[in-house]
A and B are shown apart, each in its own frame.
Chain A
Amino acid sequence: MRDGHRGPEHSDSRRGGFATTHWSVVVAAGDRASPDAERALASLCEAYWYPLYAFARRRGADPEEARDLTQSFFATLLEKNYVADADRERGRFRTFLLTAFQHHAAKDRARERAAKRGGAERPLSLDYDVGEQRYLLEPVETATPERIYERRWALTILERVLSAVRRDYAETGRSALFDALSPVLVGASPAPSYRAIGEDLGLSEGAVKVAAHRLRRRYRARLRAEIEETVSTPSEVDDELRHLLQAVSG
């Protein structure tokens, strides 16, 4: 159990924000546990637990089973350093997490349900009630547990990135600007009228245009940085982006 450096308030402040460490740090640490790697892994898990929960639910676990399984998985993961296997695959955090989870689920079944399943350990404080509410909103036609996992993963990344950018803007008192301009991130058509936005916010049309450009640039940089944290080398970012794009394409 290694939760000494993470109180719930800490994780809350971090949720939706950015961890300062990368999956590559975890992979590089290999089997020799380092505090940096542990912290990185914990913050990655906090960010991406929900896709696993949705995966377990879709596989047929009821809410309680899914919660126990996810919780015991993270307990084992953080305690036993499964990650030693990860650099062998030189994989991405997304695939590593799912593989390790499936492995864990299989072992868990074999151990029979009688085992304590991590007992009172709570290495991460995760809000499963919120998770379950979200799960009930998942589109039912999303076929396999693997698909729902990947789709969820992609959406989780986007949510994290968007809320991080929003927070950046809020911190400098520009929430209204973000709200007005966020449609440009998806290239909305018809394009928002910069003049109208400018009138609302008391800015010139040119200034709004520049702001829109900056917002897109910042969003893009954030998105790529977030994905970079889940892959082992920066060169994989484009490929991972393409993969996620396919995961969210119906």
Chain B
Amino acid sequence: MTDAPSCPRCGSPLPPDAPEGSCPRCLLAAGLAPTEPHDEPVAVPGPKELARHFPELEIEAPLGRGGMGVVYRARQTRLDRIVALKILSPRFASDPAFEERFAREARALARLSHPNIVAVHDFGQKGGFFYLLMEFVDGTNLRQALQGGHLTPEQALAIVPKICDALQFAHDRGVVHRDIKPENVLLTKDGEVKIADFGLAKLGGAKPGELTLTAAGQVMGTPHYMAPEQFENPQSVDHRADIYSLGVVFYEMLTGELPLGRFAPPSRKVHVDVRLDDVVLKTLEKEPGLRYQRVDEVKTEVNSVAEDPQMTAAPTTATQGLSVPATGRKLSKLALYGALCFPLSILVFLLPMMLLSLLSPGATGTWREPGVLTIAGMTTSFFSLLPSAIIGLTGVILSLSGWVVIARSGGRLDGLWLAVPGTLLPFMCGGPLLALTLLFLARTGPFVYTLF
């Protein structure tokens, strides 16, 4: 037993009954990972040595370090812009086939010029190591946003279509990301979404899940985002593996959890549109053929859910700001009860009373005696008023609930369609009552009104 209170790798607390004092999470994850993680941080040259090879760059602080290499923040002095310099681990240099593969992949990456993809400016080999010069993204990554716990379902619905855009663009050009996970989804300070490390997983060999080197400097060795077929045959996966990984990220954004084992659909864990369940579950199909076949389809489905204001909160364009809880499901339950109240009150009270009043000779008979209050007459008039009172009250309650929802919806008028009929209800129930009264007037003459 070690006396470390938490796992040095994944940070989760070590239980006192941990087998051999090792973190059970990491022990199990080791069974999932297709290959073992690298033994030690890679030895890459420091800023001083790099400066010799990159005279055009002012190399600043390291941004991150991982199994594949190190990323430095650097300034391109002539263009006066900040860039990210990724130095790949020297272990690649010992692989003679790597140079050709690297050039091929880097050219493919450089062609991916898209607002939602981190741009590759340059690549090459200097001083015995390979490097990539990339766009510098100022912001956080999705992992940090998730850990901060600030992500609302609306924001998730705003981020996912942008990931889809980036992936579709790359897929159309034959590039599969292979390592989509929150660490690779960067969120800029302007609320933009940028996907990093396209195709690098392939470059590093059959080791997705452990290559990520992010702006945050996190090195994750998690296999959770990998499609099932990636475990079995990592070298021959197609773009549908990205769709699976996107599904895992989506699920995590909505629920804060990973879809492990027999997982519940998102709407059972959090207040989100139930239609999202189908979208998420279809991306997470084990069989690639059962998933969406194009990322575009995911985007279309997500957008159609996000744009339908009846079922879910209004979509936000920015990825930051609003913190309104989703009220979709609560609202529909309330509306259901309200909708049930109306026909029920009519059925239970109004119809029998109308029939009773019209068909019972005893009841109508008493109305023929103007100014005489009989027990039967009073009962009849009481029960004639009761339904309208009940319906009126229902209407008042419904409209109040509606207005409360409106007040809480942060200016989005969520409860409007509940408030309006609720307010109209008392007036509407006055209609049948008026008709009833007129009927009596027609049958019994004008004296009847003295009873009221």
Measuring CB to CB, which residues of chain A are less than 8 angstroms from any residue of chain B? Answer: 134, 137-139, 154-155, 158-159, 162, 182-191, 194, 209, 212-213, 216-217, 219-220, 223-224, 227, 238-250
Contacts and interface: CB of A to CB of B under 8 A. Distances in A.
B324 interface: no
Given A188-B9, A223-B31, A246-B261, A213 B24 contact: no
Contacts of A191: 39-41
Given A154-B28, A242-B260, A248-B28, A217 B20 contact: no
B27 A185 contact: yes
Nearest to A134: B17
A249 B36 contact: no
Given A138-B17, A243-B260, A250-B13, A154 B24 contact: yes
Contact of A139 (B16, B258, B262): B16
A155 B19 contact: yes
B17 A243 contact: no
Contacts of A223: 27-28, 30-31
A220 B17 contact: no
8 contacts: A139-B16, A186-B9, A187-B26, A223-B31, A240-B261, A242-B224, A245-B25, A245-B28
B24 A155 contact: yes
Q: How large is the interface on B (under 10, 10 to 19, 20 to 34, 35 or more residues)?
A: 35 or more
A247 B18 CA distance: 13
A100 B388 CA distance: 58
Contacts, number: 107
A201 to B, nearest CB: 16
B19 A239 contact: no
B437 interface: no
Contacts of B27: 158, 162, 185-186, 223
B22 A185 contact: yes
A212 B39 contact: yes
Contacts of A242: 32, 224, 258, 260-261
Nearest to A219: B30
Contact of B262 (A189, A243, A249): A243
B15 interface: yes
Given A238-B231, A245-B260, A186 B26 contact: yes
Contacts of A246: 258, 260-261, 263
Is the contact region of chain B dominated by helix, strand, or loop, or is it mixed?
A: loop
B247 interface: no
A250 B263 CA distance: 16
B269 to A, nearest CB: 13
B5 interface: no
A243 B257 CA distance: 12
B283 to A, nearest CB: 16
B8 interface: yes
Q: Among B20, B25, B221, find the residue whose CB has the most chain A CB atoms closer than 10 A.
A: B20
A249 B25 contact: yes
Contacts of A188: 8-9
B31 A184 contact: no
A47 to B, nearest CB: 14
A206 to B, nearest CB: 12
Nearest to A212: B39
Q: Which of A139, A187, A220 has the most CB of B within 10 A?
A: A187
A245 B262 CA distance: 12
B37 A245 contact: no
A244 B19 CA distance: 14
A186 B19 contact: no
Nearest to B40: A191
B363 interface: no
B285 to A, nearest CB: 13
B206 to A, nearest CB: 14
B29 interface: yes
Contacts of B20: 159, 162, 182
Nearest to B210: A187
A42 to B, nearest CB: 24
